[in-house]
Structure 1
Amino acid sequence: MPQHTPDLPPELRPLAQMPLFKRLAARLFGHGLTRLRAQHRFSWLHGQADGFRSGHEAGVEYGYREGKRDGIEEGRQVLLIRDLRSDEHRAPGVDDRLFDDWRLPLTPDLKKRIKADVARLLPAHAQPSAAQWKMIFSDTPSTSVVAGAGAGKSTSLVLRILLLSHYLGFELSSMTVVTFTRESRKDFISKLMEILSLWGQPLGLKEAQAVVRTFHSRILPMVRSLPGFERLQAFENLHHGTYDDEADSNPFDLRINEAQRQQLNACYHGLYGRHACFRELIAPMARHALQLKELERDHPDVQKRVAVTELAAKRDEELCDVIEDLWLRAGAWPIKGIEPSRQRVEINGASFHCHGYSAELEAWVVLGFDARESPQLARPGAKLSVRAEWAVKRTLFQAFCRKPLIWLDNYESSKRLLSSLAGDTTSGPGFDYKVKGELASAPLLDCFVTAAGFIENLGLDVPTAVGQMSFAKDDPDRGFFEALSLFWKALEDHLLDQSPPIMTYNRMFSLFGENTPENLRLLSDGLLRPLSHLMIDEFQDVSPQIVAWIRASLHEIRRRGPAMHVGRGAQHSSLLCVGDDWQSIYGWRGSSPKYFMEFNKEFPSPSTTRVMLGENFRSHQHIIDAAEHIVKAAPAISGKKAKASGTAKALVPVQVLDRDEVALAQQLLAHYQRGDSVLMLYRKSSDKLLIQEHIQSVVNLDSSLPPAMRRLKQLTYHSAKGLQADAVFLLGDCQHLTRSPYKNQVYRMAGLGKDGDAEPYDNAQRDEVLRLAYVGITRAVSYCYWYVEGQEGQGANAPRASDRVAGGKSFFDDRRATKAR
C-alpha cells in the first residue's frame, strides 16, 4: 500500500504522481542535463521531496510524542466543571426572624456564683426550683414560660432582671416588664425594689416604675414624639379636671366616665346634625330599642295574667294616676317632646291607657314603676301592690298590643329620652340598644365603644371590618354596624380636633403596628430601647392588636442593628413571655391564648427556650386536680400537670352545692370567725346584691379594720386573677349563654378559630367558661365552695362548667340534691 504523501507543490511531487507528458519531458531533460553534467534535476527534485517527506514524518512523530507528554501534564491541572444547577430561578429567602442569632454569655462559673448569692440572700421559701432556674438562666433570644396557678413566677421574673442588670451589666433602660393590672404592677415594683436592694443595687420608686409598665404607658410616648402630638392625651385617661398619664388602664376594661361621655355625645350630635344617612340609620334603631318587646301569647306569664284582663282594665286609670304622681314627684314627668295626654288602647276588648305620645318617634309612651320605689307601695284598698299591678299591665301590652309603644321603665330612661328629644349636645342618643350576643342592653354610644373596641383589639379597622360583615336585610344589627362605621370615623377625627388632641390607645397601637412599619422609623433609639429586653406577664391575655405592635417594634430594633446599641451593655434584643393558657378569660374583649399556645410560630427566633413551671405553691393537690379536671376539656398546651409544693396541707375536696345564699353566708361567716382569709366571687353584679344582705355583718366588721388586716374580698371571677384566700366561695355557674353573629364574623376576619368553623368566637367562649371555673377554683389555698344554679331557666341547654364535675373523684364532693346529667 503506497505511503501517504503530504500535499506538495506540483514541482516537488514525485514523478510517479506527475501527468504522463510531464513525466516523459522530465526524464528527457534529466538525462540530457546529466550527460552534460550540469545538473541532476531528477535527483535534486526527488531528494528535496524525500527530505520534506521524512522531515514531516519525523516532526509529526516528535510533535505527537512531546505534545502527548505536555498534554498529560497539563491535563492534571484542568478542573472538570459540571453544571448541576436547576434551570428554575430562585430569589433569596426572607429573614422574618425578630431576633439576631445570639446567646446570653452565661458561663457555668457565673451560674454557680448567682445560685450561691441567691441561697445566701433570699429565705428558704423563696429559693427557685429547677424549672424556675431554667427560666432565669434562659440564654436564647426568646423564652416561653408556661406558669400555672400559684407557680411563683413573680420572684423568678425579678431574678431574671437581676441577672441581666447586676450580673451581665445590661442597662435597666433596655428592659420593660409588662403587667396587666394596677395591683400586679404595684406588687411587682415592690418586690423588684426589695430584691435589688439586697444585692446592693438600691432602686428608687420612679426608676422601678420606669421598668415595670403597662403596654399603654409604652405606646403613649411614641405617639407624643411625633410633630404636632407632643401634648396628645389618651381617651381612656380622660377625667374631668384632671388628666393622669400614669393611670394604669386595664386593656380589657373600658368603663366610660363623664369626661369621655362628653366627647362621645358631642361627636354624636355633630354627626347627627350634618349627616343625613346617619340620621336615617339612628331613627329605626331608636324606635326598635324603645319599643316594648313582644311576648308570645302562649308564654306562661301571659296565660296566667290574661284571665284578669277585665279586672286590670277597671283599675287602670287609678294605676295611671299613682304612677304619674310618682314620676311627677321624681321630676321625670312630663317630658318635653312628649304630649302628656292619655290615649285609650284596646286589649282583648278591654280599655287600657298610655300616658303620652311622641310625634318625633311616632310612638305611644307608657310610664313604668321605677325599681327605687318601695315594692310594698299599694293603692288604697287594693289587694296587689302597684308593682304587681304594673307587671300585669306590662305583660298584657307585650302580648296583645301591636301599636308602636315606648315603655319607660325608670326615671333615668326618662332623663335620657328628654335630653335626646331636646337636642341636648351634652347627652347621648337617649336610648339603649342590645347587640345580638351581648347579655344586656346599654346606652347606644356605650354599645358603639364596646363593639369598636372588640374589633380593634382583634387588630382590625372598624369601617373596613364593618364593610366585610353581612346581616339579614331586616336585622337591626345591620343598621347598628353601618352607623358604628360612620360614627367611629367621625369620633377619631373629632378627638384629634380637640386641643390638646386626643386618641384612643387602640389607634395608637395601630399607628405603630405591622401594617405601618414606616412610622416606627420615625422614633428615636431611646424610645425603642426599653423594648429591647421585653418580659410580659399574663401573656395569655394579650390581644392581636398588641401582638402586632410587639412584633413590629422587635423588627425595627433588629433592623437598626448594632448602631442602636453603641457603648451599651445590652447589645441585642430578647422576649420572655410568662403565661397560662388555662387562665385565658378575656376573649369577650378580644384577647386570645393562640399567641401563647403557638409562641414559636408567632415570634420566630433562631432559638427558643420553653419552660414548664409545674409546681403550685398555693393550693393543695385536691384543689389543683379538681380545677384541672374541669379545664382539661379545653384545647391547651400539651404536657401540663401541676403538683402541689411547699408546706403540706390537709386534702379537702372542692364542695359543689346547690345555690343557697343563706347557707353560703353561714359557711363564709364560720371561716371568717376562724381567722381565715375569704374570697367571695360572683358572676353578675346582681349576685353580689343578693348575697350582700346575708353577709352584711362580716362586710361591716371587715371594712372597719385597717386595710392590711382585712380578710374579706368580694370580686367577680374575672377580677380575681392573681389573688388567693384560705377559703374561696364561688357563687354561680360558668356558662356561655348567647351567640354573637358579629363577633363570629370578625373572629374569622382576624384569622382566629379553625378553618370552616362558622362560629369560631362562640366555640372559643365555650372553652373559656371552663377556664373561668379553673381560675375561680385555683384562688383557694385550702377550701373551695361552689354554689351552682339548677338547670332550669336561662341557659338551661347551654354547656356549663359544672357539667365537668366528676362525682366519683376524690377531689370533688358533689352535694347537690339534683345532680347535673
Structure 2
Amino acid sequence: MPQHTPDLPPELRPLAEMPLLKRLAARFFGHGLTRLRAQHRFSWLHGQADGFRSGHEAGVEYGYREGKADGIEEGRQVLLIRDFRSDEHRAPGIDDSLFDDWRLPLSADLKKRVKADVARLLPAHAQPSSAQWKMIFSDTPSTSVIAGAGAGKSTSLVLRILLLTHYLGFELSSMTVVTFTRESRKDFVNKLMQILNLWGQPLGLQEAQAVVRTFHSRILPMVRSLPGLERLQAFENLNARTGHGDDEGDSNPFELRINDTQRQQLNACYHHLYASHPRFRELIAPLARHALQLKELERDHPDVQKRVAVTELAAKRDEDLCDVIEDLWLRAGAWPIKGIAPNRQTVEINGAQFHCHGYIAALDAWVVLGFDPREDARMVRPGAKLTVRAEAAVKRTLFQAFCRKPLIWLDNYDSSRRVASSLAGDATAGPGFDYKVKGELASAPLLDSFVMAAGFIENLGLDVPHAVGQMSFAQDDPDRLFFEALSIYWKALEDHLLDQSPPIMTYNRMFSLFGENTPENLKLLGDGLLRPMSHLMIDEFQDVSPQIVSWIRASLREIRSRGPAMHVGRGAQHSSLLCVGDDWQSIYGWRGSSPKYFMEFTKEFPSPGTTRVMLGENYRSHQHIIDAAEHIVKSAPAISGKKAKASGSAKALVPVSVRERDDVALAQQLVTHYENGETVLMLYRKSSDKLLIQEHIQSVISAESSLPPTARRLKQLTFHSAKGLQADAVFLLGDCQHLTRSPYKNQVYRMAGLGKDADAEPYDNAQRDEVLRLAYVGITRAVSHCYWYVEGQEAGVNAHKASDRVARDKPFFDDQRAITKG
C-alpha cells in the first residue's frame, strides 16, 4: 500500500501516488516538452511533487543531523556547568582523636548551685579562684592545667571529682586520680574523704584508695587478668611491705632500690647465663678487668707532681708497707682470696721497685691491697714518719700515674669478698665488680648498672635489645661491651622472672604489654578493668615517661573503640583526661621522664576540644621567693605566659639569700629559725652533706627525736624528695649543676624522638635545663625564708650551674658570695 508523503499539498498527492512506470513516462514526456518549450501541466505537477518529496527527505536528514549536533553540544555544556564531581581519588580521613566529640552537661544554673554549696561548706581560705573554677568546670574531653608551685591544685582536683559524682551522677568506679608517690596518695585520699563527707557522700578508706592510685597499682590488675598471670608479682615489689590487694602496686615509678630478694633473682639469672652463653661469658672478662683496673691519673695532676719526688723513698719502704697491710687483711679474714694467687711480684715505677700482692689468672691482672678506711687512720709503722694510710695513698697515686700493667687495687675488705664470691662461681653472688657507664655520676655493681640502664631505655618506650642494636660506640669503648652484655642479659632476665612461681615481671614490661605497639592485648581486657580509666585525672603530669604515655593513649583509644556498649546503664559516659602539672618542676629526666608531653599536650593527646587552664596564684610563698625561683628557670624552654603571683595573707618580702658554703654558719641560722618556732626544711644534693650538717645541729636533732612525727618541725631531704613539701625556712645545701656527658642516653633520646632535630646531645641539653628546674623546686618550698649555700668558685671556671643565674641587681636576691659569675 502506497505511503502518503507527510505534509504534501492535496493537489499533488495523486501524482505522487502514481505507479513507478507512469511516473518515469511522465518525466520522459515532460522532459521533451520542456525542450520544445512547451508545457504539460500534469508533468509539471508530477515533477513538482517529486522535487518536493526529495527536498523534504534531504531537509529532514539535514535538519536531524544539525539538530542532533546542536542538541548534543547544548546538552554537553549544561552537564559541564552543573557537574562538580572530581576525577581525583580521595580516601576518607582518619579520626585520630582519643575521645568522642562530647561535652559535660554543665548549665549556668548547675554552676551557680555548685558555687553556692562550696561557699557554704568550705572555709574562706579554701574558696576556689576564677582560674580554679575554670579547671573544675572544664567541659571538654581533655583538659591541661598548668599549676605552678603552691597553686592549690589538690583541692581543685577533689572539687572536680565532687562535680562529676555528686552533681552529674558519674560513678566513682569510672574514675582514676593518679599521684606519683605513696605520700601524695595518702594526702589526697584523706582530702577526698573529708570533702565528700561534707556533701553527705561518706566515702570509706578502701573506696577512696580504689580511686586514688599510682600508675603501678592500675597496671598490675590488667596484667593479672591474663591467663597464667593471675598471681603475677612485680619485680619492684619483691620483699616490699606494701599491704595487700592493689596496694601491692603502690610504688614510686621513679625509684628503684635493689633489695636482697631482688638481687637473688638477678644473681641467679647471671650465673645461669654465664655458664650457658659463651658470648656473654666472653664479654664479662674485659668488663671486669676494665672495672677493677686502677684508674689512671695524668702525670701533671697536682697529686702526682707532689708525690713523684718521694718515689725512691716510697719504694724503699714498700715491702714493709706490704707486710703491714697484708697482716690487716689477714686479721680481717679478707686475705688470701680464692682465685687470686698470693704471689708478690715487683713492678717498676720510674726506675724504682714496688710490689703487688697477687695475680688473677682469669683476668690476667695483678692485685694490690689497699688500706681499708675502717682501720685506724692514725696507724703508723715503727720508725715511719707517715701513717700507713698516707703511705698507701702515695703508692696508689704513683701506680695510677706510671703503672701500665693490668692492675686491680682492692680498696676495702668488702670489695675483696665480692671478688672472691665471683671468682669462686658462687651462685648467690653477682659478678663481683662495680661498673661505671659513661655519664653516670658513680659506679654501681654490674647488675645494678644493667637494671638502671635498661630502666632508662624502657622508660623511653624502647625495647632494650632493639635499642642496643641501634647504638654505636668506639672500638675501644668498654661501654660497647657493656651494652652488648646488657642486651643478652635483659632478655634472659625477663624469661627467668616469668619462669618463677609465681611469675615475676617488671612494671616497664607490664606497661609495654598494653602500649601502643601492642593494642591487640587491650582487647583481651574486660570492661571492668578499662572502665576506671574512662575519666582519668593525673597529677604531676610533667614527670610522666614516654612508656606510660603510650599506655595511657592506647587505653583511651580502646575505651573509645568499645563505644556506648561499654557504658550501658551508667551515669558516666565516654571518656576524659585532665592533667595537672608544672613544666618548671620536671626533674626526673635522668630516669626517662620528659615535660614534652605536657608542653605539647594538644598534639600528644588529640581531642575534639581541649581546655587550657593557667593557675598562676601562689598560696605558699611571698613574691620575692617566687620571682627569684622564676628568674633562675626562665632561660629553660617552658609553656608560654607563665608568671606566678603571691596570694593569701601578706608576708614580709625577704630576698633569697645566696651564700658561700659554710656549714657552721648554716647550722647557726637553722637553729635560730627552729628556736623561733618555725618549720625548717634542709635540702641537700649529696647524702654526705647531710651527715656533715648533723654534726652542727645536734641540739635540734635531739629535740626532734623526742617528738611524735606529726609534731616535728625539721625535715632533711634531697632536692628531689622535697616536691610537694613546704617550710617557713628552707636551707639549700649545694649547687644544681650538670657535671657529665652521657653518650648512650643521647643516642636513645634521639631514638625516642626527644630533643630538637639535629641535636647531637639532646639528653645532655635537656639535663642542663633540668638543673635549673631543680633549683626552682628547691627555692619554691620556702614560705618566708630561703638560704642557698653553694661552694665557692674561682672566676673564669666554666661550669653549667644554676647559681650562675643569680642576679645581684635584682631585689629578690641577696648575693653574699665573694665572687659571682655573670
Q: Same fold (TM over 0.5)?
A: yes
Given candidates 10, 23, 39, the residue that maps to 2:27 is 23
Q: Does 1:347 align with 2:332?
A: no
Q: Does 1:188 align with 2:188?
A: yes
Unaligned runs of 5+ in 1: 29-39
How has the CA–CA distance of structure 1 residues 802 and 48 changed in structure 2, closer, same or farther, with 3 Å as cutoff? same
| 1:513-550 Cα deviation digits (max 9, x unpaired) | 00111000000000000000000000000000000000
| 1:276-314 Cα deviation digits (max 9, x unpaired) | 100111110100100101111111101100111122222
How has the CA–CA distance of structure 1 residues 147 and 345 changed in structure 2, closer, same or farther, with 3 Å as cutoff? same
In the TM superposition, what is the alpha-carbon distance from 1:697 to its structure 2 partner? 2.5
In the TM superposition, what is the alpha-carbon distance from 1:246 to its structure 2 partner? 1.7
Contact 1:232 / 1:503 at 8 angstroms: preserved in 2?
yes
Partner of 1:718: 720
Partner of 2:103: 103
| 1:775-801 Cα deviation digits (max 9, x unpaired) | 0000000000000112359x9522110
Contact 1:141 / 1:608 at 8 angstroms: preserved in 2?
yes
Question: In structure 1, what residue type is equivalent to 2:813?
Answer: F
Partner of 1:396: 398
In the TM superposition, what is the alpha-carbon distance from 1:41 to its structure 2 partner? 12
Question: In structure 1, what residue type is equivalent to 2:408?
Answer: I
Partner of 1:156: 156
In the TM superposition, what is the alpha-carbon distance from 1:240 to its structure 2 partner? 7.6
Partner of 1:777: 779
Q: Does 1:623 align with 2:625?
A: yes
Partner of 1:730: 732
Contact 1:237 / 1:243 at 8 angstroms: preserved in 2?
no
Q: Does 1:810 align with 2:805?
A: no
Post-superposition, which runs of at least 4 consecutive aligned residues in structure 1 deviate over 4 A? 4-11, 13-21, 24-28, 40-54, 78-81, 240-245
In the TM superposition, what is the alpha-carbon distance from 1:350 to its structure 2 partner? 2.1
In the TM superposition, what is the alpha-carbon distance from 1:419 to its structure 2 partner? 0.6
Partner of 1:336: 338
Contact 2:15 / 2:49 at 8 angstroms: preserved in 1?
no
Q: Distance in 2 between matches of 1:51 and 1:385?
A: 146
Structure 2 SS opposite 1:187:
helix
Partner of 2:527: 525
Partner of 1:142: 142
In the TM superposition, what is the alpha-carbon distance from 1:243 to its structure 2 partner? 8.4
Contact 2:793 / 2:819 at 8 angstroms: preserved in 1?
no
Q: Distance in 1 between matches of 2:219 and 2:263?
A: 23
Matches within 5 A, 1:66-145: 82-145=82-145
Query: Which has the higher mean CA deviation after the structures are superposed, 244-253 or 268-277?
Result: 244-253
Partner of 1:464: 466
Q: Distance in 1 between matches of 2:772 and 2:304?
A: 37
Contact 2:26 / 2:43 at 8 angstroms: preserved in 1?
no
Question: In structure 2, what residue type is equivalent to 1:119?
Answer: A
Partner of 2:370: 368
Structure 1 SS opposite 2:418:
helix
| 1:740-786 Cα deviation digits (max 9, x unpaired) | 00000000000001111000000000000000000000000000000
Contact 1:297 / 1:399 at 8 angstroms: preserved in 2?
yes
Given candidates 9, 12, 17, the residue that maps to 2:16 is 12
In the TM superposition, what is the alpha-carbon distance from 1:381 to its structure 2 partner? 3.9
Contact 1:5 / 1:53 at 8 angstroms: preserved in 2?
no
How has the CA–CA distance of structure 1 residues 351 and 113 changed in structure 2, closer, same or farther, with 3 Å as cutoff? same
Contact 2:264 / 2:428 at 8 angstroms: preserved in 1?
yes
Q: Does 1:168 align with 2:168?
A: yes
Q: Distance in 1 between matches of 2:635 and 2:607?
A: 31
Contact 1:266 / 1:425 at 8 angstroms: preserved in 2?
yes
Matches within 5 A, 1:361-760: 361-760=363-762
Question: In structure 1, what residue type is equivalent to 2:95?
Answer: D
| 1:365-393 Cα deviation digits (max 9, x unpaired) | 11112222232232234322222111111
How has the CA–CA distance of structure 1 residues 51 and 176 changed in structure 2, closer, same or farther, with 3 Å as cutoff? same
Contact 2:15 / 2:46 at 8 angstroms: preserved in 1?
no
Partner of 2:820: 819
Q: Distance in 2 between matches of 1:507 and 1:208?
A: 28
Q: Distance in 2 between matches of 1:332 and 1:796?
A: 44
Q: Distance in 2 between matches of 1:641 and 1:382?
A: 66
Matches within 5 A, 1:139-288: 139-239=139-239, 246-247=247-248, 248-288=250-290
Contact 1:14 / 1:46 at 8 angstroms: preserved in 2?
no
Contact 1:233 / 1:502 at 8 angstroms: preserved in 2?
yes
Q: Distance in 2 between matches of 1:27 and 1:437?
A: 122
How has the CA–CA distance of structure 1 residues 365 and 47 changed in structure 2, closer, same or farther, with 3 Å as cutoff? closer
Contact 1:14 / 1:49 at 8 angstroms: preserved in 2?
no
Contact 1:16 / 1:23 at 8 angstroms: preserved in 2?
no
Structure 1 SS opposite 2:82:
coil
Q: Distance in 2 between matches of 1:714 and 1:639?
A: 34
Query: Which has the higher mean CA deviation after the structures are superposed, 365-374 or 155-164?
Result: 365-374
Question: In structure 2, what residue type is equivalent to 1:107?
Answer: S
Q: Distance in 2 between matches of 1:672 and 1:86?
A: 80
| 1:257-292 Cα deviation digits (max 9, x unpaired) | 111111010111111100110011111010010010
Partner of 2:3: none
In the TM superposition, what is the alpha-carbon distance from 1:6 to its structure 2 partner? 8.0
Q: Does 1:305 align with 2:271?
A: no
| 1:555-584 Cα deviation digits (max 9, x unpaired) | 000000000000000011000000000000
Q: Distance in 2 between matches of 1:6 and 1:389?
A: 143
In the TM superposition, what is the alpha-carbon distance from 1:820 to its structure 2 partner? 2.3
How has the CA–CA distance of structure 1 residues 423 and 27 changed in structure 2, closer, same or farther, with 3 Å as cutoff? closer
Partner of 1:32: none
Structure 2 SS opposite 1:239:
coil
Contact 1:12 / 1:48 at 8 angstroms: preserved in 2?
no
Structure 2 SS opposite 1:370:
coil
Question: In structure 1, what residue type is equivalent to 2:345?
Answer: Q
Q: Distance in 2 between matches of 1:593 and 1:269?
A: 39
Query: Which has the higher mean CA deviation after the structures are superposed, 401-410 or 151-160?
Result: 401-410
Question: In structure 2, what residue type is equivalent to 1:160?
Answer: R
Q: Distance in 1 between matches of 2:282 and 2:79?
A: 83
Q: Distance in 2 between matches of 1:307 and 1:416?
A: 35
Q: Distance in 1 between matches of 2:308 and 2:28?
A: 154
Structure 1 SS opposite 2:562:
helix
Question: In structure 1, what residue type is equivalent to 2:26?
Answer: K
Unaligned runs of 5+ in 2: 1-5, 33-39
Contact 2:98 / 2:605 at 8 angstroms: preserved in 1?
yes
How has the CA–CA distance of structure 1 residues 792 and 250 changed in structure 2, closer, same or farther, with 3 Å as cutoff? farther
Contact 2:299 / 2:401 at 8 angstroms: preserved in 1?
yes
In the TM superposition, what is the alpha-carbon distance from 1:405 to its structure 2 partner? 0.8
Question: In structure 2, what residue type is equivalent to 1:397?
Answer: F
Q: Distance in 1 between matches of 2:123 and 2:433?
A: 59
Matches within 5 A, 1:308-327: 308-327=310-329
How has the CA–CA distance of structure 1 residues 452 and 44 changed in structure 2, closer, same or farther, with 3 Å as cutoff? same
| 1:22-74 Cα deviation digits (max 9, x unpaired) | 3355899xxxxxxxxxxx995998699599979x99x99xx99xx9xxx9xxx
Structure 1 SS opposite 2:209:
helix
Structure 2 SS opposite 1:101:
coil
In the TM superposition, what is the alpha-carbon distance from 1:400 to its structure 2 partner? 1.3
Q: In the comparison of the two structures, how many residue pairs are matched?
A: 795
Partner of 2:35: none
Contact 1:671 / 1:678 at 8 angstroms: preserved in 2?
yes
Partner of 2:36: none
How has the CA–CA distance of structure 1 residues 603 and 314 changed in structure 2, closer, same or farther, with 3 Å as cutoff? same
| 1:230-275 Cα deviation digits (max 9, x unpaired) | 1111100001899865242211111111111110101111111001
Q: Distance in 2 between matches of 1:708 and 1:367?
A: 49
Structure 2 SS opposite 1:568:
coil
Partner of 1:358: 360
Question: In structure 2, what residue type is equivalent to 1:129?
Answer: S
Q: Distance in 2 between matches of 1:144 and 1:581?
A: 12
Contact 1:323 / 1:369 at 8 angstroms: preserved in 2?
yes
Question: In structure 1, what residue type is equivalent to 2:809?
Answer: G
